[in-house]
Structure 1
Amino acid sequence: MSSSNLQALTVLLERAEAERDEALQFLQEAQARASAARNQHDQLSQYRTDYTTRWTQEFTQRTTVHILGCYQNFGQRLDQAIGQQSGIADYADQRLTAARDVLRERELRVASVRKLIERRRAESLRSQMRQEQRVTDEQAARAASRGANPMSRLVA
């Protein structure tokens, strides 16, 4: 394998590794965003549950129509916030899945380039070994032909 081919493949490998590293960084960031979005959703849901429990206990003791209206209004806002956060979390999960797919593609590319370099080196080594074998065979053939030719002894 020529030096320029090896250099070109090495540059290609370095570029593929850099792209893979970028994809890995993006995946880690996407994981953090998805986790934060899910945590926010869980916190809002837990707050909604706590709020409902607290006000249910309050309503058994005393309430007014105004307080009931405030409770319902705030509960609707909480439900709306939970729904929005659920959408944000779902979108973050989709981005996370996409980031995993990109990373998998980039890792496959790195592995493919490495395999190509390995094959080219093996091919170069086989070619070099065949060349050395050819030279050895030619030397052996010359030596044998000199030894088999009775005239070659007289000349030497």
Structure 2
Amino acid sequence: MAHGLPFPMLIDLAQREVDAAASALGAQQSRLDAMRQQGDGLNSYRAEYAGRMRAEASQGMTMASLRNYHQFLANLDDVQIRHRGDVAAQERLVETAMRTLQAKQLKLNSYQALAERASRAAAARQARVEQRQTDEFAARRARDRQAAE
């Protein structure tokens, strides 16, 4: 690696950023999963409540009781609408966290590629230095042989 290039430090920092972004994505995804389960629960509860209303209605019920059922179902519908909006907002947060993770991973990959390139260049320079030393040594031995003859 070239002198003065802090690739190990940059790679370490970038890896920490990737790890933090992955953790944040995991947390956002967990929240989304929990919200979706909550939505499933709301849907089930509404369906169950509507089923109870139909069952009672088939056996006869008062207008006040029917009105209460309809009002409660309307309230559940409002809650479901708000919940779907919350889920959509959470999905956007998950997408943002995913893009952040991808950007951090790209940065890390770039640093790793630069470090690898610098390492290969340093190895090539070292190989040229060693080859030059070997050539000089061989030339010196050849001169010494000629001088000895």
Q: TM-score, normalised by structure 2?
A: 0.93
Between the aligned residues of both structures, percent identity stands at: 31
Q: Is the 8 A contact 2:21 2:101 kept in 1?
A: yes
Distance in 1 (alpha carbons) for counterparts of 2:92 and 2:36 = 13
Q: Is the 8 A contact 2:28 2:97 kept in 1?
A: yes
Please tell me the residue identity of whatever aligns with 2:16: A
Distance in 2 (alpha carbons) for counterparts of 1:49 and 1:2 = 67
1:97-112 equivalent positions in 2, closer than 5 A: 97-112=95-110
Please tell me the residue identity of whatever aligns with 1:74: F
Where structure 1 has 5 or more consecutive residues not aligned to the other structure, the ranges are: none
Please tell me the residue identity of whatever aligns with 1:153: A
Q: Which residue of 2 aligns with 1:153?
A: 148
1:1-156 equivalent positions in 2, closer than 5 A: 1-5=1-5, 8-148=6-146, 152-153=147-148
Where structure 2 has 5 or more consecutive residues not aligned to the other structure, the ranges are: none
Q: Is the 8 A contact 2:2 2:119 kept in 1?
A: no
CA RMSD of aligned residues (A): 1.4
Distance in 1 (alpha carbons) for counterparts of 2:121 and 2:21 = 32
Give the secondary structure class of the aligned counterpart of 2:45: helix
Aligned pair count reads 149
Q: CA deviation at 1:153?
A: 2.5
Please tell me the residue identity of whatever aligns with 1:128: Q
Larger RCO (alpha carbons 8 Å, 6+ apart): 2
Give the secondary structure class of the aligned counterpart of 2:4: helix
Distance in 1 (alpha carbons) for counterparts of 2:44 and 2:95 = 26
From the CA coordinates, give the structure whose radius of gyration is larger.
1
